[in-house]
Structure 1
């Protein structure tokens, strides 16, 4: 639907349904006096009320009338003799109509030849009787007035009933389509619900998607269909063997509005963001739709529009979550999903990690565009490997692939693929890369992140210590296990000797330059001076159960830093990161609050940071814990928002106070319009739900200014300061004052 123009176009002759047979009023006369019954029939046969003649059914008793009513629920009006086989026969029939048949709109007129036994007002109200007349008073003119008034009332009540039922169907249909956020299921459900709303007795319905709306040859497809259009599912719209319909589709698209022509109803929906896409619902009904049907489709169309919009946003966010930002190649999140699939383990697939040597130097020397094209070239070459199932970029300079067991990648084949010079941006370039491979075994631990971490550790050592460019490892060999134990032992000792330190990175108000807080980041410097990267030791801490001790050590150092800052007149909160394992513990909040109380630190003096993916794991339990801490004054930040997207359905109830824009989105602000769109979207989401927003990885004046322009005034990054030891951070804070 085009929001700027929601007018409808109607066919001049066929916008409202018509039939060759004119409608007639259906009247039931219940009368045991044959003479009076015949006089009624004579009078009604000549009567035309509101342009319609009468079809009269007759019954001579209440019992006979009940049988007629059970078969003909479409009767509009009943002329009912009060007294027939019994004194209360008429009233019992009325009760059957109102209570058993549950028909509140049929008009009931009581007739009696004995005025003295007329029902009182209470009985009229109790039985919902519409009118009462003595037979002797019903001349032909009087009878016409009675029939005219009551049939007018029936028509109004029937219109209200149909409108109410139609809206109920629309509400039900809207609820049904809201349950789907994938395009094929959503499209099919929309068609099914349209059928329920307006009752397509034959013909069919189809849902079309186009990216080039005025050229049906380009990227157009039938998403879903019913009836005679089912054979076209998955085909181009242009294959439809109906030139008249194709012309109407093109006309609808050109006019950018719904169109109703004869038996065809075409609903048009267009979206410009995140990328241009156009949808069309084509309905072919048995007859032209009534004006009421058109109105219901218009109302339902608003819900269809919102559904398509939500799907477009979901697909876009899924692209952000599962695609490498610069290349559009699948990323680590997506690869981990693939790696978790049972089929790869049961079939003992081969996993290979490939790292490009000196990638950072290449980027500096030849530029970012060259580096991105290099990644794409490597991806294209690796995609040619026989038996490949999955390929993704898992870090800035590394790929991961999954292969069939029957197509194991060898060192010679690896050389053949990447050994030759490649043409990149009009120059020849020799790609130097190293790879490590392993075979998935059903008996192994299947945590994708843990497995990747193990292989990355092997690859890191291969790059640092070996001249070999291709190496195969066993995921369960003793050497690897010993290395893991060695690292675990070193980490345990490091915790005991306080080798893991909290480094503080400032958060600032980018408009005023004022310090607003710090983020505590864990850094491990071994006794021999070696620095162990966080992406190495944090997975070890999580896998070994030492993550609680790690987080506690960092939080205690945060408390120490808060006191040092307060001593020099600086009162700002310090944020600390929490792991998935720890947050899911039942006594997590109690443990945190007890530690803060022991250190005489208030909850509002610390902020807690969790990743977006973590916020969605065991959502109900996590949300309850976070809400408890927020209620006590602690801020909760969703770190790397947009990179771990899991479910839009929880965004409205997100237990957080702050969203942090990941540095991968900030990096190209001012250079790429797409980066600006993503950052702007996150800022608008935050404002929509009353959340603060902080940008990570701010490194340039251009990035800072662009963020402020978009409405994000808080940030952190190397533009302001690198993470530093607590004592240096205190000095930095004093200097800022």
Structure 2
């Protein structure tokens, strides 16, 4: 049976004779005889001068339909065993979890107590009462119905207050800090003040981790408003000491004649306990105390929500090992900064060069200790900051006021550091990148960080210890992106062209061959310089696709030249990735084997540095090409030497 009965069911429910204004009750019972008995016993009942209207359903599926049509049902009487053995329990779970209705009162009824033992059911399901059908006499039924309907009314009236607390929680910017907990606690005090007349008195909220003896005041109102930060052993709270200890020991609310102590805990989430002292000038009535008991459930949920959000925030926005912001935390901090804050702030990125190699050599645990020591030393260089974060492996991000940024010379001097871990000295080389947020004030946080990282990568590649993000860098990146799109489009449209550059014998001045040079023209017919798009294609991985198309066009050029009587070899560039691509080399062998091109007219050019880097693999493949009669040339030979 599905856990969510609200995903099906279309039967129409029977309704009681009353269907006007008043209280609404739903009886879910598949025993027609017992259902009729319930209707008879509830006929004519009123609560606070309002009639009770009874709706009926004979299955959990039918109940789903009724509940969807009547969201103002206050009380549901649910039989445990109906179309399935656990149909009633499934309905209860659906009311709470699927509909999200925590205010609706739920009374479980059973004629077979052994099918759903009371203790286990009360522990596992959010139900309000559990009765054996045989024990529920007419008088008891009326008492139970009236009590639960009044409780529902109280909870419904307090629903707005609960929503107000939720808004406070959701609207808080930094829910992981103690300040946010204090803000929530202040909202609790304000809301309790509306439930109970505490004028002239006061309310105080305190917290403590399990095992700690002292509770610290995190919020106070009325005569307790100046106790923030003090402990509950303060002389100001002497009259409550015994009751506070009793609440802590019993883990239950304590209702005294003149004051109340409420107990809450989030032990299963973060191990905290909370004690709230409510002491008004006027003794609260029984009605007010009962409302306070009901409202305490909202407070308990609120504390749990704060604890859960704190926990989620820690996982989402903090590095669990180093205890500082992670990348998401840094992005959130930058994203939440106002325009004036960005105008006066700087993002500093610091990277440890070759840190991934250190991870491989020494292991994660060892390098974690190394980073902790490194962070301590970094605080000496940049002591005053707004935000400190781990951006990626071996890279840190720091947000600080531009007036507090060290001079470039200071950072260049700090770019070499020696740390000792477990009697091993590590000589670290650092790269610093400064990115003034004023230059990127209107950009989203993600783009700001990416631009700063791109500048840092440039510094690492050039072995520069200090660099600064330039205002035109974003324009350069945009232009490269647009150019890359043009290259991709040319590949997609197969609009690449080649130019055959003659190879001339310097003695005879005769043309002895050609080299295929790839060219791309934009939509206006203007040629894009190869020095612009070739490095970009290599960096993006598109060079392999370009080489494949150039190979095809070179073969066509050889065939065209041959048809006009020019049997001259044509050379074409091939990268290491090309040659180790089975489809690429297979295409070359296929052309020669099928005699589509004379092998002596094919000349492969390979960059010297690539061939030397993996000579053994190249040697085997190139010997196969040479054995076929093809030519092999080295491109850029000796460049840079």
TM-score by length of 1: 0.43
Instruction: Identify the structure with bigger relative contact order (alpha carbons < 8 Å, sequence gap 6+).
Output: 1
